[in-house]
Structure 1
Amino acid sequence: MGTHLSIDEVALSQGELYTIVTNKKYKGKKGSLVAIIAGTKADQVIEHISKIDYQKRQFVKEITLDMANSMKLIAKKCFPKAIQVTDRFHVQKLALEALQEIRIKHRWEAMDMENQAIIKAKSENKTHIPQLLANGDSLKQLLARSRYLLYKSREKWTINQQERAQILFELYPEIKTAYYLAQQLRSIYNTNNDKNVAMLKLAHWYRKVEESGFKNFNIILNTITVNYQSILNYFDNRSTNAAAESFNAKIKAFRSQFRGVRKIDFFLFRLSNIFA
C-alpha cells in the first residue's frame, strides 16, 4: 500500500472486466499491484478491498480514477482519507468524442448526398463525377480524412493536414467552433497549476459552450458539474491515471505474449508474482 494509488478496470479474457488498484510509486514494476478483483460491482470490490488492514488503507492520501460512479464509491468507502482526482484524459476524451460526433454527422450527410447524386446520374444514363475540393478530396473523403487532425493541436499538423483543416473549417464552421472548444479545454489543463485560476478559466469555457448551443458539449458540462471537485483536485498535484492505464497496457501485452488467457486463476497468480 502506498500514499498515491490509481483505480481502473481492465479486460483480461473474453471481455470480462476486473477492477485493479495500483501503487504509483513503483511505476509498473514489482510492488505496483495492490489488488485485482473480478468484476466492477462496487459492493463486491469494496468487500474484498476491505480485507486489507484499515490502518494501511487510511494511509492513502490520493487516488486517481475515472468518472464512473462505482469507482468513486469504492474509493470513498475503501480509502476514506484519500482525495479523489478525476483523470484529466477522461474529461478531454469526452470533448474529443463530442467533436468527432459532429464530424461524423456531417460525413453521413455527405455520403447521403453523394449516393443521391449517383442514383440521379444512373437514372439519366450519365456517369457520376464527384466534385473535388482544392486539395483533391471529395466532400466525403475530406470528412473521413479529417478524423486524426481533429485530435491534434494546430502546431502538430502536417502541411497536408493544415490544408485539409482550412478547407474543412471553411465548409463547416461548427466543426471549427467545436475543435477550438476541445483545444481550449486541453489548454486549461496544460497551462494552469493554480486551482483558482483553473476554476475561473473553466467558468469562461462553460459560457462559451453554452453560447455554442452544441447539445453533446452541454452533456459534457453536466458531467463536469457532477465531478467538479474531483476534476479541480487535479490542479493540486497534476496527478493523472496514466499509471493505471500504463499498467493495463502491460497486462494486455503479457496476455498477448501467451496468446490469450486459458486459465484465469493461473494468469492472476502470475501477475501477482511479478507485480505484487
Structure 2
Amino acid sequence: MIEQVSKIDSKKRQAVIEITLDMANSMKLIAKKCFPKAIQVTDRFHVQKLVLEALQEIRIKHRWQAMDRENQSILQAKSENKIHTPQLLNNGDTVKQLLARSRYLLYKSKEKWTDSQEERAQLLFELYPDIKTAYALSQQIRAIYNSKNDKNVVMLKLAHWYRKVEESGFKNFNIVLNTITVNYQSILNYFDNRSTNASAESFNAKIKAFRSQFRGVRKIDFFLFRLSNLFA
C-alpha cells in the first residue's frame, strides 16, 4: 500500500490536511508516512463500536450463565422423572430468550425502541443492573459525539465518562478506556471538523460483497477494471 501511495507526487501528498482512520497502529504509521502533514482523526464509528462490543460482552456472559442454569434444571428434572417447565417472564420470554432477544435494543437509543423492546429492556435492566449501567455508559459516548460542543467541553465530558467507567468496575470497559486513552488526541481531532470515513467504509463494504460473489480474486487488474465500470 505504501509503495502504491508513494507513486503519488510528494507535494500532493503533503497537501492533504486531514485523514480519518481506525485505531490500528499499523494504519496510523502508514498514514503518517504517506501523508506526513495530515491531521489524523479517529473515526467515531470505531470508538462507538468498541464501547458497544464491551456492552454486548456483558449481555453474552449473562446469557451463557442463563443457558447453563436452564440446562442444569432440565437435567435435574429428567433425573427426577419430571417435565421441565421453564419460568416465563411478564412478556412471555424465558430469561435465556430475554438475553438473546435484547441484543438489538442495546444498539439503539431509548427513543428508537419499539413498545416490545421497551418492555423487554425494562425486564432486562431489572434483572441485570450491570447491563443497565453499561448501556448508560454506551449512550453517554453517543451523546458526546452527537453534541455540538467544542473540544474543551468534550474533554470535560470525557473526563466525567472516564470516572464513571472506573467506578463501574467493568473489566472490558476499562480495556476500552485504555484504548481511548492511547488514541486520545486523534479522537479529539474529530471535534474540529467532525469528519468521518463513512463513505469509504460504505464503498469498502460494496467491494467486499462484490468480491464474495466470485469467491475471491484471481486477476487483480481485471477485478479493478470491473469495479471501475460498476462503481465509477
TM-score, normalised by the number of residues in structure 2: 0.95
Residue in 2 that maps onto 1:266: 222
Contact 1:209 1:217 (8 Å CA) reproduced? yes
> How many aligned residue pairs are there?
232
Residue in 2 that maps onto 1:62: 18
2:28 matched to 1:72?
yes
Q: Deviation per CA, 1:103-142, whole angstroms, max 9, x where unpaired?
A: 0000000000000000000000000000000000001000
How far is the alpha carbon of 1:247 from its aligned partner?
A: 1.3
Q: Deviation per CA, 1:150-186, whole angstroms, max 9, x where unpaired?
A: 0000000000000000000000000000000000000
How far is the alpha carbon of 1:52 from its aligned partner?
A: 1.2
Contact 1:192 1:198 (8 Å CA) reproduced? no
Q: One-letter code of the match for 2:115?
A: I
Contact 1:169 1:176 (8 Å CA) reproduced? yes
Q: 3-state SS of the aligned residue for 2:20?
A: strand
Q: 3-state SS of the aligned residue for 2:97?
A: helix
Q: 3-state SS of the aligned residue for 1:64?
A: strand
With over 3 angstroms needed to count, the CA separation of the structure-2 counterparts of 1:162 and 1:124, relative to structure 1, is same
2:48 matched to 1:95?
no
How far is the alpha carbon of 1:257 from its aligned partner?
A: 6.6
2:200 matched to 1:247?
no
1:152-191 correspondence to structure 2 within 5 Å: 152-191=108-147
2:98 matched to 1:138?
no
Residue in 1 that maps onto 2:6: 50
Gaps of 5+ in 1: 1-44
Contact 1:193 1:236 (8 Å CA) reproduced? no
CA distance in 2, matches of 1:192, 1:208: 22
Residue in 2 that maps onto 1:215: 171
Q: 3-state SS of the aligned residue for 2:199?
A: helix
CA distance in 1, matches of 2:107, 2:221: 39
1:75-86 correspondence to structure 2 within 5 Å: 75-86=31-42
CA distance in 1, matches of 2:226, 2:18: 28
CA distance in 2, matches of 1:269, 1:125: 67
Q: Which of 47, 59, 63 pairs up with 1:107?
A: 63
**Larger % of strand: which?**
1
How far is the alpha carbon of 1:252 from its aligned partner?
A: 3.2
Q: One-letter code of the match for 1:155?
A: E
Q: One-letter code of the match for 2:155?
A: M
Q: Deviation per CA, 1:223-271, whole angstroms, max 9, x where unpaired?
A: 0010000000000011011021111123235446767644333102333
2:142 matched to 1:196?
no
Q: 3-state SS of the aligned residue for 1:118?
A: helix
**Larger % of helix: which?**
2
Gaps of 5+ in 2: none
Q: One-letter code of the match for 1:220?
A: V
CA distance in 1, matches of 2:13, 2:182: 26
Q: Deviation per CA, 1:56-79, whole angstroms, max 9, x where unpaired?
A: 101100000000001100111110
With over 3 angstroms needed to count, the CA separation of the structure-2 counterparts of 1:116 and 1:258, relative to structure 1, is closer
Q: One-letter code of the match for 2:24?
A: A
